[in-house]
Amino acid sequence: MNGKTKMKGKTFNYASTGRWSVILLAILFAVTLLLVAASCSPAAAPADDQGPIHVRLAIARDEGSLNPYTYVSGYPGHNLLLLIYDTLFQLDEQNVPQPWLVEKYQPDADGLTWSFTLHKGVTWHDGTPLTADDVKFSYEYYRKHKHARWTKAVAAVESIEVEDELNFTIKLSDPVPAFMMNPLADVPIIPAHIWRDVTDPGSFTDNTGSGPYRLISHEADKTYKLEANAGYFRGKPAVDEIGIVIIEDQTATFTALRVGDIDIAARSLLPELVEEFSGTTDVAVVTGPGFVSTLLQINNEREPFNDPRVRLAIARAIDIDGLVETVLLGYGTAGNPGYLHPALPGYKTGLKHITDPAQARALLEETGFADSFGDEEFELLVRSNDPLRVRTAEIIAESLAAIGMNVKVKALDSSTVDSLVWPDFDVTRGRDYDLAIWGWSAPVMLDPARLGALFHSDLNTRGSLNIGAYAGENVDAMVEELAGTIDPDRQSKLMSDLQSAVADTVPFVTLFYPDGIYAYRPGTYDGWVYQNGQGILNKLSFVPVP
């Protein structure tokens, strides 16, 4: 029986279904074929008109209402915050603090009293003049209303005396070694006339700043729009409007960049994508050193890692240059065993990582632990959402196997890793791990105060970032002296000694510092300035430093 002969037009022609499924299959094949051929697409010619410049920037998460109490992340939240608000000083390309809101400054001999003169003609976004009273108000406000970053930064400020609208003096209770960097170049000044009566800053959403951009709209979890502050005291910013789009997914971010839906991404490009993007004419890639560190964190309290020789053996077993080549494809700098990035002025020249598995084995023999290693299994924790770190962990596990240590890589979600390595973000609450791939953000590289917190053995006071409970001989004394030293020669001597001590006693193994790799569309805007170690999302990219 043939269905078609029985079928009348008015009912239903099922013979077409056969054809239909064939068509579907054909489409599927076509899709597969096209996909293979889909790698290259014609490049659009960069537009070169003189109209207003609108840059569309992609960030990964919502940053709240972007005022000093509501921004969320250190990067890019803090960077965006400082497009809206100003600081008294501004770090230049080489991270040297330069006067910004202030025009003149003068510290006294012991570094405890600093007098400043503000720049003339600075106004808030609402037109009110910015005066010395605003500075005094801001620093006192941060002291009173707790914020993890600002409150600590202004802790040493004893008093601020306002002489007139432009002149004021800051008195410190203790000398602060990098005072111009933090707080002066870090803490944003807020308008007293707006914040005076605010008692719960966490739920206050005003964004009136004095910076080169004002926030004109925010759709939570979707977009922000920043508009150039035409009356900015250092001249009109180079980009007229910055549209910020929130794209959580990494792949989607770079697809959007490729098709031209966005002009720049705040997140760093994965090393394996650099070649692909460099090959196109409409997308450019800029790279530079990054101050974010990647470490093999070691639990110094736990046997056998409480023996410095075991930690040194671990360091010797790892081929750090190999990691930079295989994991980062060369887009990174091999770790200084003394932690500090070699591009920083405080770096102790000549301090180099040594890879020597034979010596590592000898060290383990010497400790006597080597015999028992066969049965013991150590865990190496790593955040599962970071493919580069997972690869790093796997390679390290192999290197350690070669010296007889049985290490198992355990990839967990980042909150879980945090809770094991740094429970409640409080080092006094103990720790529950053997080894972990860890990293610190750029401020923990630049700021001597935070640097000391990594190494000081008193976890209740100065050692608040010492997540391995490390204790090194003389290290505490060096950290304490460094905290009160403002003489540059003595400072660099202490920094140099500290790095040597760290290299010898290995609180953790500094593996590498991944480069910042930023892809952008030069046809839209090409004036990005790479701030050493911190990337291109900064005030310098929009307003020149004098």
Partner 1 sequence: MLQFWGRKLMQYGLVLLLTLALNFSLPRLMPGSPLQLLAGEDVGLLSRAEREEIMARHGLDQPLWRQFTLYLGQLAKGDLGYSYRQRRPVAVIIWERLPWTVLLTGSALALSALAGVVCGTLAAWRRGRISDLGMLSLFIFLDSMPSFWLGMILVALFGSSLRWFPVFGAQSPFAGYTGWAAVADVLHHLALPLTTLTLVTIAGLFLTVRYSTLGVLGEQYITVARAKGLPEGRIVFRHVLRNALLPVITLFMLSLGFVVSGATVVETVFVWPGLGRLMFEAVLQRDYPVLQAAFMMVTVCVIAANLAADLLYPLADPRVRIEGRHVR
Site for partner 1 in 215-274 (CB under 8 A): 220-223, 225, 243, 245, 247-249, 251-252, 255-256, 258-259, 261
Q: What is the DSSP string of 449-479?
A: HHHHHHH-S-TTTT-TT-TT----TTHHHHH
Give 152 or 361: the residue with its C-beta nearer to partner 1: 152
What does the per-residue mask of binding to partner 1 show for 343-382, with x meaning CB under 8 A? Answer: ----------------------------------------
Q: Is residue 14 part of the contact set for partner 1 (CB under 8 A)? A: yes
Residue type, 117: T
Of 441, 457, 492, 500, the one binding partner 1 by CB under 8 A: 441
Minimum CB separation of residue 116 from partner 1 in Å reads: 25
Contact yes or no for 222/246 (Cβ under 8 A): yes
The only residue of 134, 263, 418, 515 in contact with partner 1, by rule CB under 8 A? 418
- Classified as helix, coil or strand, 423 is helix
Which residue, 298 or 417, has its beta carbon nearer to partner 1? 417
CA separation for the pair 96, 411 (Å, rounded) = 38
Alpha-carbon span 196 to 130, nearest angstrom: 14
Q: Please state the closest distance from residue 308 (CB atom) to partner 1, in A.
A: 24
Q: How far is the CB of 153 from partner 1 (least distance, A)?
A: 9
Residues 196-215 that bind partner 1 (CB under 8 A): 202-203
CB of 2 to partner 1, least distance (A): 11
The yes or no reply on residue 43 touching partner 1 (CB under 8 A) is: no
Report DSSP state, residue 523.
T
Interface with partner 1: number of residues (CB under 8 A): 80
Inter-residue contact 191 to 128 (CB < 8 Å): yes
- Calpha distance 536→21 (Å, rounded): 52
Among residues 102, 127, 122, 117, the alpha carbon closest in space to that of 193 is found at 127
| Interatomic CA distance for residues 377 and 338, integer angstroms | 28
Q: Is 298 in contact with 379 (CB distance < 8 Å)?
A: no
Can residue 178 be called a binding residue for partner 1 (CB under 8 A)? no
Segment interacting with partner 1, rule: CB under 8 A, options 19-27, 126-134, 290-298, 309-317: 19-27
Binding mask 449-468 vs partner 1 (x if CB under 8 A, - otherwise)? -x--x------x---xx---
Q: Does 143 bind partner 1 (CB under 8 A)?
A: no
d(CA 26, CA 21) in angstroms, rounded, equals 8
Residues facing 134 on adjacent strands: none
3-state secondary structure of 442: coil
Minimum CB–partner distance for residue 343 and partner 1 (Å): 23
- Residue closer to partner 1, measured from CB, 120 or 429: 429
Q: Which residue in the set 285, 329, 420, 545 belongs to the binding site for partner 1 (CB under 8 A)? A: 420
Q: Around Cβ 329, how many Cβ atoms within 10 Å? A: 14
Q: Given the rule CB under 8 A, which of 29-37, 231-239, 370-378, 474-482 is the region that contacts partner 1?
A: 29-37
Which one of the spans 102-110, 263-271, 310-318, 423-431 is the region binding partner 1 (CB under 8 A)?
Answer: 423-431
Judged by CB under 8 A, the stretch of 37-45, 159-167, 284-292, 337-345 that binds partner 1 is 37-45
Tell me how far, at minimum, the Cβ of 390 lies from partner 1, in Å: 16
Angle at CA of residue 103, ends 101 and 108, nearest 5°: 110
Query: Which residues, 6 or more positions from 231, have their beta carbon under 8 angstroms from its beta carbon?
Result: 123
Residue 7 found at the interface with partner 1 (CB under 8 A) = yes
Question: What b/e sequence results for 414-433 when a residue is b if at least 16 CB atoms lie within 10 Å of its CB, and e otherwise?
Answer: eeebbebbbeeeebeeebeb
Q: How far apart are CA 538 and CA 546, in angstroms?
A: 15
Asked if 416 is part of the footprint of partner 1 (rule: CB under 8 A), the reply reads yes
Instruction: Break the chain down into helix, strand, coil percent, rounded to 5.
Output: 35, 20, 45
Phi/psi at 265 (nearest 5 deg)? -115, 135
Q: Which of 53, 55, 59, 62 binds partner 1 (CB under 8 A)?
A: 62
Q: Which is nearer to partner 1, 47 or 148 (CB)?
A: 148
Query: Cβ 66 to partner 1, closest distance in Å?
Result: 12
29 binds partner 1 (CB under 8 A): no
- Which of these, 456, 457, 471, lies nearest to 308 by C-alpha position? 471
Angle at alpha carbon of residue 138, lines to 137 and 142, rounded to 5°: 115
Stretch 144-163 residues interacting with partner 1 (CB under 8 A): 146-149, 151-152
